[in-house]
Amino acid sequence: MTAARDHAGMKTTPSLLALAAALLALALTSGCTSGGTISAGGILAREDSSGAASDGFPAPSQEMVWNAAMAVVRDAGYVPDPNLSSADGGVVETRWRTKLHPFSGMGTRERVTVRIRKVPKKLSYFKLETNVLAQANDNIKDPGNPISAEWTEGKRNPLVENMINQRVELMFLKGDASNEYRRKQGLPGKTDPRLVTPDEPVPEEGFIPGFPPIK
């Protein structure tokens, strides 16, 4: 009888292991679809996927804007992920740039995502939406070990987001480009470089609102 029970118990062990594995996979899937990433230490870190938007600017093609964004991101010290970046999709996404620290809360990691949007009803005009997500490592026991890192809720870095947008824009809005060069490249003249919200009209010299002009 004892041998029979042991034999039966051995048969049920794989089933229990399979059930446990299925539950773990379900938990990981739920964590990944809830707007966060699971760190190596098993801690769910929330992500803010919003980003800083640029003005609309002229460019010959989306691929050229994508190449410019790739170059700017690399110059800023990030490594684009070829599996997540796509010229056709208009997306540049980097790997995590991790800087561990021997003290808890001091280690950080950052990731950049640049999305290229076409401006509706404006041929050869594009806009950027850049997200720079920063997370801190809150692991107390071993903060210098990347395997046990516990990443906090991600926070955006608007300063770097706007810097990336501006550097990409400047690659297509150089002030020294002549109107002849812009015409050959299919770009508008210097009088219409970007799509921005117009400023309030500047009054004529000597004009005071509510009073007639000074003659």
Does the structure show a pLDDT above 50 at 144? yes
The phi-psi region of residue 76 (left if phi > 0; otherwise alpha if psi is between -120 and 50; otherwise beta) is alpha
pTM above 0.75? no
153: confidence class by pLDDT, cuts 50, 70, 90 = confident
Cβ–Cβ contacts within 10 Å for residue 163, how many?
A: 16
Each domain of the chain, given as residue ranges in start order, spans 50-175
Fold of 50-175: Alpha-D-Glucose-1,6-Bisphosphate; Chain A, domain 4 (3.30.530)
Best CA proximity match to 111, nearest among 55, 160, 62, 41: 160
CB 43 within 8 A of CB 55: no
97 vs 147, more confident: 97
What pLDDT, on a 0 to 100 scale, did the predictor assign at position 187? 66
Encode pLDDT of 79-91 as tens digits. Answer: 999 999 999 999 9
What percentage of residues in the chain have a pLDDT greater than 70?
57
